[in-house]
A and B are shown apart, each in its own frame.
Chain A
């Protein structure tokens, strides 16, 4: 379905995507990465909006740049939240369908159906300038789905949606996948993507670091120690105590008063820490756990790729 062969995209001296080789058969994929990791660049390469500086990109076996046959089979929902403020949602989606080659009447009918499926029927004749963010997002999705493409490429499609909206869109996407269509869904939020697809591509710093199923990602997460930041009056003493109890995978000092503890069992550490410190005179002034497991995941993957782990 999609193939990258040593594809690199440079913006001047800035690397957008770095030597990516991928082959994605028909299916649904979540593209996960932090902000600035190259997700949008990768998607723009897939849709032909960017040409790779090196290497090549193939979608449905062809170069997607300026290729109407490929573009006809794609549905794209970009991340940008901008639409024409002075035009109704129906008119806008119908216009985009006309650019697909549909006649005016057919375009309007399809547009209305697509908007209706996404819960936009009551508002589709209103000016888009009066839409909320969630409504704009649904309209964009409707525009991507209206021409019944074979492959859907969505960049942060759940941005701006309330929980009900997220659920509805997730259900739509699940239905989409059940029909055997292709999907590439980019996001920086793991659980959102997890609700839709079980296959992931993890991207960071312009490189695809890992790929696999949800279980494999969670296993990876589980294998990566959590880091806990502790500020105390006696960092050395605390470190000694933790080592004695065997509670830490690794320890490092951060300034004179802080200790960063990496542990695979943070729950145990939280529960037992007061007990361990009882009577030692060690005071804990601040205890902070980074809850960004995705950040930890990517940090760990980067370390592996750099050969530091």
Chain B
């Protein structure tokens, strides 16, 4: 859909020269044109433009961060254990599944599609992994995970083919998946010899350690420093390269602030995780393995979305499928790969879930998981209407979901209340998305 020409979008300062062929130097000068973040060359200009953008409703990650602070404040006031290092580490571990499943949803939400089957697809993948990694097979953990993810890839391909080749709505195909793969899960667990009482236990140490194992305190610090330094170096190099090419470049001070913020988050995270959270005599400390895993996944997927053709095409199709088609992009191929990636990623989520529970059983509530996954992506800022979203959204949203989930458990809310609160959080996120979208298109 193309938007009507939006005169109103142009700030008043720029209207007199909308047609004219102004010379190039004048085009960038602040007295004739409103400066926005993209054109700002100095830090002051940038800050001013940022303030203006936030006031006009395009606030990026800000509401998410504010929401997180509010939620944390509420739970902390109800139960002072909420912000204890032990509970925070627990919260991070709980967020793993929501974040990864949310990332899975981002791939398809960008296309304005949806995948309702991620919960049970992930559970099926996890079951395959669990079966292979325990008695009597005792397959190497890596191969077992690979097999689980392979099964998920096949499932994603089948669902994707039904959607792209037959033109079935993804909503319906994956709803069938939601039901069908719960059936597959039940079947697998009923027929597996390793399963005792409807449960396949995790006996493999590596798989168990994804959630339950930690880096040693020293390694945690080393990894953190490496990550921050690498992030800083890449940011500065990119900034230099743009500047050297004569392109409009964000001020270096801004880069410094971003790198500084990452460093602060890193230090706090490692400090919290490195504190002893063991009960009694047992000592338990260190950054859980899930943290670097999420980080690697975040970087790899963000590069995939932001720096490759595939990612660019996902955004293009979500923004205007017809434009993408006319640009020669094969919509079917890109869509198919998005569904495959979504299912494989939910397989990863399933394996993390397996590690978290220490076993997989027929009681997995895939229906609930998928709602948390969609909520994580949307709360973080990914649009249900396609074309807008990032992997970091799933991370932020997943943390919010985990905070709500964890906090409600901590203050002892009943299951009934928990469902209702989760529903309200999801509705609030979708409302914010819809309202901000209306604000954009009617501008």
**Mutual binders A and B:** no
Q: Which residues of B contact A (CB under 8 A)?
A: none
